[in-house]
Amino acid sequence: MTPRLDALKGKFVQLKQPTRDAVSDTAQVETTVKEIIANVRKRGDAAVREYSLAFDKADVAKFEVTEDEKLKAVADLDPQTREDTEFAIANVRRFAEAQLGTILPLEIESLPGLHLGHRVIPIETVGCYVPGGRYPLLSAPVMTIVPAKVAGCDQVIACLPPNAHPAMIAGCHLAGADRIFRVGGAQAIAAMAYGTETIPAVDKIVGPGNAFVNEAKRQVFGQVGIDQLAGPSEIFVVADETANAVTIATDLLAQAEHDVRTRVGVVTTDRKLAQDILSEVENQLGTLPTAPVAAVAWKDYGEITVVENEEAMIAYSDHIATEHLQVHTRDPQATAHKLRNYGSIFIGELASVVYSDKCCGTNHTLPTMGAGRYTGGLWVGSYVKIATHQWLDERGVAAVAPAAVRQSATEKLEGHRRAAALRLGPKQLAAE
């Protein structure tokens, strides 16, 4: 038991337990990915082409999508799909612009003559990985590309699997990608990290993907920045006796249909609600077209936990630190303010995760596997650097140099002492 759960010992009971562990249930792909990265780094486009043929069954003659192909992909979009995509783009852009407005440059005079500050600097080149997935996930390029453009990145490139739905190319173009490449999997991450004859090396890679993509991001980190290591999707609901079982079951299954490894769960203070949700999930699976996926996720990773009071419910939720956290309580705003570990929170029964997944404006690229304990999700701040600076006049030197000289001498760092003393004049520089 973790310290959080240990404190709850005897205060909760699981009506339904997960039968598998989504965190450790990952493919052993480290060796394969290491070979892919080394090969792409050494042989560039030729290796990327071979892996595209082997993994995606696609013989790609030319990786980069041409301007004509982009325009055709947009023209071929169903008009309503295009309108909905542009609606999502506008909402994500509006929120990212508002967020960027809170990240301000800084200039202070900390002491007389000592000037400190920072600049907000856009990352020069960003690579956005856009997953193909089981279905065309039209919101995926919006969430990674739009904030990068709002942040002011010089170049935003997108990589997506060669067999991705043509609408995904349209989505990348409408979102503002400067260049689009038909390359997927670990080979795309390797290509963006080290560059090939065709694909430019980037400074940071963002975007979710499968286990191979995730592992590749882990291995290239350091050569480039990454947003995070994302696992399968997650949703938890905190609920009391006022919650609606039908609504909660519907929202759980909406996420469960993403992947057979999706983690879905409820923690509630009301046993009757827990039993009603259990029955309702089984009932809805009987008519859900995506039940072959959702039912497996529910069976393997579904969880319903009953706790004795709100305090225990908050503690249990913070232990889970889920990607998506829905709050269905009598006073959801008050409950939300007590919660601290989550990727994104959905306050009240009218706030469905699906709205954020698709188009409401907040980013759907969020921390999973408990990472909500220490980080938030992808946002416009992920595409800028906060870089500090300082400058001094004689008053500033007089204020800070003596302490720097003494500390350097204490640490027996003579080079440091000399550099600190130099600006105080010859006497101080010569002093032992």
pLDDT of the residue at 18: 85
Which tens digit of pLDDT belongs to each residue from 134-169? 667 889 999 999 999 999 999 999 999 999 999 999
pLDDT at 10: 67
Mean of pLDDT values over 19-42: 81
Please, what is the angle between helix 211-220 and helix 185-194, to 10°? 20
pLDDT, mean of residues 104-108: 98
Please determine, looking at this structure, whether the domain spanning 30-230+381-385 carries the CATH number 3.40.50.1980: yes
Query: Catalytic one among 323, 328, 349, 364?
Result: 323
Flag whether pLDDT at 1 surpasses 50: no
Question: What are the residue ranges spanned by the domains of the chain?
Answer: 3-22+231-361, 30-230+381-385, 393-430
d(CA 248, CA 328): 8
What's the mean pLDDT in 401-416?
96
Q: Identify the pLDDT of residue 147.
A: 98
Over residues 356-386, the pLDDT tens digits come to 999 999 999 999 999 999 999 999 999 999 9
Q: Which residue has the higher pLDDT, 40 or 7?
A: 40
Catalytic residue among 173, 258, 324, 328: 324
Distance CA 281, CA 263 (A): 14
What distance in Å separates the CA atoms of residue 156 and residue 158, rounded to the nearest whole number? 7
> Is 432 one of the annotated active-site residues of the chain?
no
- The per-residue pLDDT of the chain, averaged, comes to 93
Q: What is the mean pLDDT of residues 101-129?
A: 98
Q: Classify strands 263-268 and 303-307 as parallel, antiparallel or unpaired.
A: parallel
Residue 219 token pair: 């291995």
Q: How many Cβ atoms sit within 10 Å of the Cβ of residue 262? A: 27
245 to 261, 279, 428: CA distances (angstroms): 23, 9, 76
What band does 28 get if pLDDT is binned at 50, 70 and 90? confident
**Cβ(206)–Cβ(156) under 8 Å?**
no
CB 233 within 8 A of CB 259: yes
The arithmetic mean of pLDDT across residues 209-213, rounded, is 91
Name the percent of the chain lying above pLDDT 90. 87
The amino acid sitting at 112 is P
Q: Using the predicted structure, report yes or no on whether residue 24 has a pLDDT greater than 70.
A: no
Provide CB contacts within 8 A for 46, sequence distance 6+.
Answer: none
Compute the average pLDDT of residues 113-120.
98
| pLDDT for residue 36 | 97
Contact 130/166 with Cβ under 8 angstroms?
no
Asked if 220 and 189 count as a contact pair (C-beta separation under 8 A), the reply is yes
**Matching fold, domains 3-22+231-361 and 30-230+381-385:** yes
Tell which residue, 385, 372, 367, 34, has the closest CA to residue 228: 367
Which pLDDT score, from 0 to 100, does residue 9 have? 66
What lies within 8 Å, CB to CB, of 279 at 6+ separation is: 245
Q: Of the given ranges (17-21, 312-316, 399-403), which has the lowest mean pLDDT?
A: 17-21
Tokens of 333: 């705003």
pLDDT at 3 over 60: no
* Contact status, residue 288 vs residue 257, Cβ threshold 8 Å: yes
**pLDDT value for 425:** 81
User: 3-22+231-361, what's its fold?
Assistant: Rossmann fold (3.40.50)
Mean pLDDT of 177-197: 97
Tell me whether residue 324 is one of the annotated catalytic residues. Answer: yes
Angle subtended at Cα 27 by Cα 141 and Cα 378, rounded to the nearest 5 degrees: 30
Q: Residue 425 region, left (φ>0) first, then alpha (ψ -120 to 50), else beta? A: left
